[in-house]
Amino acid sequence: MSPPSAMDIEIKAVTDTSAVAVPDPLTVNGIPAWREKVAKMPTGVAPECSSDMWKSPACYTKPKAKRFDHFLSQEAKSRKASTLKSAAGYLKNPGIISLGGGLPSAEYFPLEHLELKVPTPPGFTPEETQKSGSILHAGKHDIKEGKSLYDLEISLNYGQSTGSPQLLRFITEHTELIHRPPYSDWQCTLTCGSTYAWDTALRLLTERGDYIMMEEYTFASAAETAFPLGLKALAIPIDAEGIVPEGMDELLSNWDVQARGARKPHVLYTIPTGQNPTGATQSAERRREVYKVAQKHDVYIVEDEPYYFLQMQPYAGEGAAAPPPPATHDDFIKSLVPSFLSLDVDGRVCRLESFSKVVSPGSRVGWIVASEQIIERFLRNFEVSSQHPSGISQIALYKLLDEHWGHTGYLDWLISIRMSYTNRRDALLHACEKHLPRDIAHWVAPAAGMFHWIEVDWRKHPDVAAGKTLEQIEEEIFQSAIEQNVLLSRGSWFKADKSATMEKMFFRATYASASFDRIDDAIARFAASLREQFRL
């Protein structure tokens, strides 16, 4: 995993003479020139690769990440490199005939070409794509025929667990552009989606009996991934900006190993942007405070960030239109709240990234960013488990993101998604303002994500005096909404600590999936349920 020659020269230049200028950070427009300088794209079957092949010289001026050996599980520590994947190293010898690995010949892949019809920027809507969309073509032998750096012969065969170098390059550049991690030895690797990456992270970083920290309301599946591994959730208090750092500090400072029957928790799972289910987004300042608490107590942070690019325009208020989109790519990137990765001077963050919310969940392609030590341990797991995400998904994403859109087109797409979600959120908020009974329903306008978290003041329910509980009322409202033909999610589904007592009652509404013109109707139906249940 050593950087290639072009990079070696740059690093040397930086290290050797103190007079030399610090290399400029990578920019969207600087990528084509930088690509010219780096090592040639490996285009063989299942080639070894790593992000080090494409990171710009600016990365290497930064200190290295800390080591986190003390966090690695027994399982993670005992993993060795795959014998058979290692043998693939010999395939680099020119002229070698392989009777080695059990890779089928491309003759037996029954697919001669694959074509995709995709949007041509800036015409991103389905209607515009129908009219002005581009046809992308991937042939079986495009590499040999000099037509592309990636083809079906390669993508339909086995690959390495990093993912294909073709897609990993794009992802590495994108990561550097957006996050500029403040340590040098960060790397990316593809995953089969963030839920899978989280499952693997737990097996890497925890032992049965451990507590993990989660926002007190959290993504139910993330908690359900953890519990069967013998893990318990330590619910961290939250407010409208997500994790309350003082609350986290207090829980950790007063941790009683005896009373808890477990060592002090060392893993924090957080969804910092457009949190699921609360919709809360941690501000830059809030993130810095949380990171400080993590440093103080030596906590490893797993930031699950599917909604990062669903940061929306500021909410303009009741009935008002959204402000215009960011004018430039730079403005757009600057408008984004800094990630934990971008604050991570220690290398104590593993960022889970996903195409699910911005391209397609069905692709089952995501990626993670972390220090080389941690990525290497993930890879040792992946190569004897999932191996790598679908090569068909990978070539589709490569054709779209790298060959067709490039980084500029992808940023345009993300801005377009931002504006669409802004419109959807605004439609939902306007509907809530119009229909919901304000004396019992309260909310904060979400700044990012897919979710609107509606608090309903259950103590105002007429049957509370007669002893009806929060849980009963929540169930009755949920069922009444189903009868009105609208589905919302119950707040209690998202409790991190299932044994915790709820003081407040919530419902989660998403504006992501319903067709735009039915959002108003859906909220009207929910409002009818509330009025009926509360006899208003």
**Binding positions for a copy of itself, 200-259, rule CB under 8 A:** 220-221, 224-225, 227-230
Number of residues located near a copy of itself, criterion CB under 8 A: 115
Nearer to a copy of itself, 121 or 245 (CB): 121
Nearer to a copy of itself, 232 or 348 (CB): 232
Interface pick for a copy of itself out of 17, 74, 254, 501 (rule CB under 8 A): 74
Q: Radius of gyration over alpha carbons of the chain, in Å?
A: 25
**Binding of residue 71 to a copy of itself (CB under 8 A):** no
Q: Give the distance from CA 161 to its chain's centroid.
A: 18
Nearer to a copy of itself, 4 or 325 (CB): 325
Q: How far is the CB of 475 from a copy of itself (least distance, A)?
A: 13
Site for a copy of itself in 432-461 (CB under 8 A): 450-451
**Binding of residue 192 to a copy of itself (CB under 8 A):** yes
Which regions of 143-293 does DSSP assign to beta strands (E)? 186-191, 211-215, 232-236, 238-239, 242-243, 267-270
Contact between residue 154 and residue 390 where contact means Cβ atoms under 8 Å apart: no
Helix (H) or strand (E) holding 455: strand 451-456
Q: Which two tokens stand for residue 160?
A: 């390495």
**Binding of residue 276 to a copy of itself (CB under 8 A):** yes
Nearer to a copy of itself, 60 or 413 (CB): 413
> CB neighbours (10 Å) of residue 415?
21
Beta-strand relationship, 211-215 and 267-270: parallel
- Cα 456 to Cα 21, 45, 450: the distances in Å are 58, 56, 19
Query: What's at 122, amino acid-wise?
Result: P
Interface pick for a copy of itself out of 110, 146, 324, 467 (rule CB under 8 A): 110
**Binding of residue 358 to a copy of itself (CB under 8 A):** yes
Exposed (0-12), middle (13-18) or buried (19+): which is 283, by Cβ within 10 Å? middle
Cα-Cα-Cα-Cα dihedral sign, residues 461, 464, 466, 470: positive
Cα-Cα-Cα-Cα dihedral sign, residues 121, 123, 126, 127: negative
Site for a copy of itself in 84-103 (CB under 8 A): 84-85, 87, 90-91, 93, 95-103
Q: Which of 175, 179, 164, 197 is nearest to 398 (CA)?
A: 164
Q: Among 61-69, 150-158, 435-443, 527-535, which window interacts with a copy of itself (CB under 8 A)?
A: 150-158
Q: How far is the CB of 68 from a copy of itself (least distance, A)?
A: 18
Cα angle value 26/274/377 (rounded, 5°) = 60
Contact string 362-391 vs a copy of itself (x = CB under 8 A): xxxx---------------x-xxxxxxxxx
Nearer to a copy of itself, 497 or 521 (CB): 521
Q: How far is the CB of 399 from a copy of itself (least distance, A)?
A: 10
Nearer to a copy of itself, 163 or 245 (CB): 163
Contact between residue 115 and residue 138 where contact means Cβ atoms under 8 Å apart: yes
The Cα 355–Cα 367 span in angstroms is 9
Site for a copy of itself in 152-191 (CB under 8 A): 155-159
**Binding of residue 509 to a copy of itself (CB under 8 A):** yes
**Binding of residue 499 to a copy of itself (CB under 8 A):** no
**Binding of residue 361 to a copy of itself (CB under 8 A):** yes
**Binding of residue 82 to a copy of itself (CB under 8 A):** yes
